[in-house]
Structure 1
Amino acid sequence: MNKTEQLIETPSDSIRTVDAPSSFDPRIDLAAAVELAGRTLAAVRPEQYDAPTPCEEFDVRRLSSHLVAVVRRISVIGRGEDPFSVPSFADEIADGAWAAAWVPGAREVAEVWADPGILGRQLRLPMGVLPGAAAAAVYTHELTVHTWDLA
């Protein structure tokens, strides 16, 4: 009987503790968030660039630029470098070129975060030092929220 079956078959008056799966890997969610953000950027049309987003300080143009900067920062953080070496916005990217700029950034994230050892390393984020597993969760959240804002 596996742990899921044990949990399901446990009577309510006799609750047993079931260990969390040791196979949880936050890089899977990070990769999904990177992929979804890239697809969402690719769907932005020129007539939407000046449109507002739920994130009041960003219109579509500014948020698109920020997303490209975020994907770059995720790689820098994974390499153990200074997160502030990447500006918060990719202002050098021309309007409409965000999706094209996303592709090499996403590829680099996949390469940098491929080593499972990254999850236990202490990484420097703008808000402080966290284990790689927590850093992956932080950036999964940031990408997910901003992708929702953009969509």
Structure 2
Amino acid sequence: MSENERVARAATTMSKIIRTVEPSRLADPTPCAEFDVRALIAHLLFWGPSLVGAARKEAVAPAESAVDLTDDWAAALDSHLDELATAWRDPAAWQGVTYMGGPMELPAPLVGGMVVAELIVHGWDLARAVGNTPHWDDDLLRDTYSDTAATADQGREMGIYGPEVPVAASAPLLDRILGLTGRDPAWP
């Protein structure tokens, strides 16, 4: 799979998930214990400019204040996903170093992999919160599993991931990704 299509492929599924979230479900819990649906959507919009900036090699701080979901949040998130996919389609986005919301340089392929994982894991969080089961293609999940496995310990040290949830090696790739990030694939 072409590296520069990974974000777009993850974003396509996330966009479909967004369309299934009814406004009446914004207070529902998600598998990500610190967020209900509203807070998770706000989190995605809050970090959105930084993730787009990373593709462009720009150190863009996250939004300075909480995101207000009284406007058309679904359209705003869809627009963000389009911008994110476009920015990461540029092969230069995956080369050299970039920034992730601050002045510290990070390898661009590492950040790109983190963006893909963010879309897949939080997409699953949103889908499960509203009773749906999302699907990404196996090539994308295989790459994301490799990226996530390589950085999971660091993610836990930084507080990005919870303690690993044991998942069988024979489990589907998505379940193994979720387990690495501290999520229980069997979350109701």
Instruction: Go from structure 1 to structure 2 and tell me whether the alpha carbon gap of 1:87 and 1:94 turns closer, same or farther (over 3 Å shift).
Output: same
Aligned residue identity for 2:111: A
Alignment partner, residue 68 of structure 1: 45
Stretches of structure 1 that go unaligned for 5 or more consecutive residues are 1-23
Q: Which residue of 2 aligns with 1:146?
A: 122
Alpha-carbon distance between aligned partners in 1 of 2:12 and 2:65, rounded to the nearest angstrom: 19
The answer on 1:132 being equivalent to 2:116 is: no
Please show how residues 40-55 of structure 1 align to structure 2 within 5 Å. Answer: 40-55=17-32
Larger Rg: 1
Instruction: Compute the displacement of 1:90 (Å).
Output: 5.5
Query: Is residue 66–residue 89 contact of structure 1 (8 Å, CA) maintained in 2?
Result: no
Q: Which amino acid aligns with 1:57?
A: E
Query: TM-score normalised to the size of structure 1?
Result: 0.71
Aligned mates of 1:59, 1:46 — CA distance in 2: 12
Q: Residues 90 and 99 (structure 1 numbering): CA distance in 2 closer, same or farther, change over 3 Å?
A: farther
71-80 or 39-48, larger mean C-alpha shift: 71-80
How many angstroms does 1:92 deviate by? 3.0
Instruction: Note if 1:57 corresponds to 2:34.
Output: yes
1:113 is paired with a residue of what secondary structure?
Answer: helix
Does structure 2 conserve the Cα–Cα contact (< 8 Å) formed by 1:71 and 1:105? yes
Work out whether residues 57 and 98 of structure 2, in 8 Å CA contact, stay in contact via their aligned partners in 1: yes
Cα 1:147/1:110, change in 2 over 3 Å: closer
For the aligned residue pairs, the C-alpha RMSD in angstroms reads 2.3
Q: Deviations over 1:49-93 (max 9, x none)?
A: 111111111001111111223333211111222242x22876133
CA change 1:39–1:71 in 2 (3 A) is farther
Distance 1:116 1:142 in 2: 20
Q: Which residue of 2 aligns with 1:109?
A: 84
Distance in 1 (alpha carbons) for counterparts of 2:36 and 2:16: 18
